[in-house]
Amino acid sequence: MTLKTLQPYQQYFVPAIPRTPTNRYASIILLRETKSYAIFTTEGGEQQDVEQVPAGLTHAEPATRLVMFKRKQVAPERRTGKALLRQYGIFPYALKDGKVLYGDEALREKNHYDDCYLTEGLCTHCPDCLIYGYAAIEGEGARRARLMTDTCFTIRPYEIIQKQVKFNVIDEAAHTSGTITEYDYTTPGVFLPAVETGVDLTADEFTYVLGNVLRTTRYGKEGSRQGFLRNHILAIAFSDVELFANLEFTQALYDALVDAGKDLAAEGLTLADLQAHAPAVIEHLTAGLAGRLTLVTDKELEAILDDVRALNRDEEQLRRFLKGLNDESASFTV
Ligand SMILES: [Zn+2]
């Protein structure tokens, strides 16, 4: 049940989950914007993750930028998708004579899948496992992800978008003020440009990935549940080569803003600033592409996003969609 608005792009998707790659890329070009304080650290780290990189592609002076590693972007989106699969009754499921069974029918089968969770309990057959991949699992091997992204970087330098906040932890029992804890926070209104590239996805798998990007709002330090992020989708691109790295996207936007006279150290950045520059920046970055490219923006893009949102609002339609998606992935055999 391909979304109506994706039907004109049918040729850029695979008709069924492929066994070998054909390099049909469907990229989601987006801006991630913090809408609250957030913390981006690797496990156990006190300070946030930063990297020194050239500020722009043409302005080569060094800049220290906050980074959001790939896992910090993709893991929350996977969890969103998995929660949706559970909510809509995909689990338990079982495979019998090439048919996918659900609910009580599935429970009657000896080999049924009760759930699928990161990182120890991946079922290896649901849409999440087949799209986002998994590391080696006994008896199942490993599956390479068909969704690619890499580390993304803030546009403005770390020094400006970061804030140290001290908390005085009050001991309620002893009525004493105890340890002072200091946290390194990313402030609200910080932009991280990103591209998520689907490789050889079916149109429905792409719809699922897009839904996860639109639905996910919590990123950053795990366990704390803080860090509200809004994903703004700028374009969808169909190609047969990868477009550009997240860092290149950040650097090109930096160049465009500086060349337009924006003082990034003194002024804040708004979504409107970036939306104004994004089309020219994307065009510039893809001008010398060694492959074909179809860019979907403006009205056509909005129509697709509206279609995905409408699907996610309609309980019955979404139930049918997710079941169909799981039927495809669970019955897929190598
Ligand atoms: Zn799974």
The mean pLDDT of the chain is 93
pLDDT in tens, 227-266: 999 999 999 999 999 999 999 999 999 999 999 999 998 8
Distance 7 CA to ligand 1 centre (A): 27
Ligand 1 centroid – CA 53 distance (Å): 37
Amino acid at 314: D
CA of 82 to the centre of ligand 1 (A): 8
Mean pLDDT of 192-205: 98
- How many angstroms separate the alpha carbon of residue 231 from the centre of ligand 1? 25
| Ligand 1 centroid distance, CA of 326 (Å) | 10
Q: Which segment of 117-126, 131-140, 277-286 scores lowest on mean pLDDT?
A: 131-140
List the beta strands (DSSP E) in 106-161.
112-113, 134-137, 141-143, 147-148, 152-153
Interval between CA 117 and ligand 1 midpoint (Å): 7
- The mean pLDDT of 107-133, rounded to a whole number, is 93
How much distance in Å is there from the Cα of 265 to the middle of ligand 1? Answer: 45
Q: How far is the CA of 134 from the centre of ligand 1 (A)?
A: 9
Going by pLDDT thresholds of 50, 70 and 90, the confidence category of residue 192 is: very high
- pLDDT for res 323: 97
Statement: residue 175 has pLDDT above 80:
no
Amino acid at 111: N
Ligand 1 geometric centre to CA of 130 (Å): 7
Output the CA 16–ligand 1 centroid distance in Å: 18
Q: Which of 134, 147, 84, 23 is nearest to 308 (CA)?
A: 84
Q: Give CA torsion, residues 87, 313, 132, 18, to 10 deg.
A: 110
What is the distance in A from the centroid of ligand 1 to the CA of 127? Answer: 7
What are 40-98's pLDDT values in tens digits?
988 767 789 999 999 999 999 999 999 999 999 999 999 999 999 999 999 999 999 98
Q: How far apart (Å, rounded) are the C-alpha atoms in residues 93 and 109?
A: 9
Taking the centre of ligand 1 as the mean of its atom positions, its distance from the CA of residue 195, in whole angstroms, is 24
Helical ranges in 16-147 per DSSP H: 70-87, 103-107, 127-132
Q: What is the pLDDT of residue 224?
A: 65
Mean pLDDT of 172-177: 67
pLDDT of residue 291: 97
Supply the DSSP symbol for 46.
Answer: S
Distance 75 CA to ligand 1 centre (A): 13
Under 8 Å CB-to-CB from 17, ≥6 apart: which residues? Answer: 130, 202, 205, 328, 329, 332
Site of tokens 């001991």: 171
Run of H or E including 99: strand 99-102
Task: Measure 311 CA to ligand 1 centroid, in angstroms.
Answer: 22
DSSP string, 6-45: GGGGGGGS-SS--SS----EEEEEEEEEESS-B----TT-
pLDDT of residue 265: 85
Q: What pLDDT is recorded for position 133? A: 94
Which neighbouring-strand residues pair with 119? Answer: none
With tokens 């279609």, the residue in question is: 307
Dist. CA 239 → ligand 1 center (Å): 28
Ligand 1 ion: nearby residues, β-carbon < 5 Å:
116, 123, 126, 128-129
Q: How far is CA 48 from CA 19, 61, 70, 219, in A?
A: 40, 22, 15, 14
List Cα–Cα distances, 162 to 18, 156, 166, 170, 188, in angstroms. Answer: 44, 10, 13, 25, 9
Q: 3-state DSSP call for residue 118?
A: coil
Cα(322) to ligand 1 centroid in Å equals 13
CA distances 248 to 23, 32, 72, 191, 287, Å, are 22, 15, 19, 14, 14
DSSP states of 201-258 as a string? --HHHHHHHHHHHHH--B-SSTTT---BEEEEEEEEEEESS----HHHHHHHHHHHHH
pLDDT more than 90, % of the chain: 82
Predicted pLDDT of residue 176? 65
Q: Tell me the three state secondary structure of residue 276.
A: helix
* pLDDT band, very low/low/confident/very high, at 120 (cuts 50, 70, 90): confident
Mean pLDDT score, 292-308 = 98
Rounded to the nearest angstrom, the distance between the alpha carbon of 334 and the centre of ligand 1 is 16
Please determine, for residue 1, whether its predicted confidence score (pLDDT) is greater than 80: no
> In the structure, what pLDDT confidence band is assigned to residue 140 with cuts at 50, 70 and 90?
confident
Distance 40 CA to ligand 1 centre (A): 27
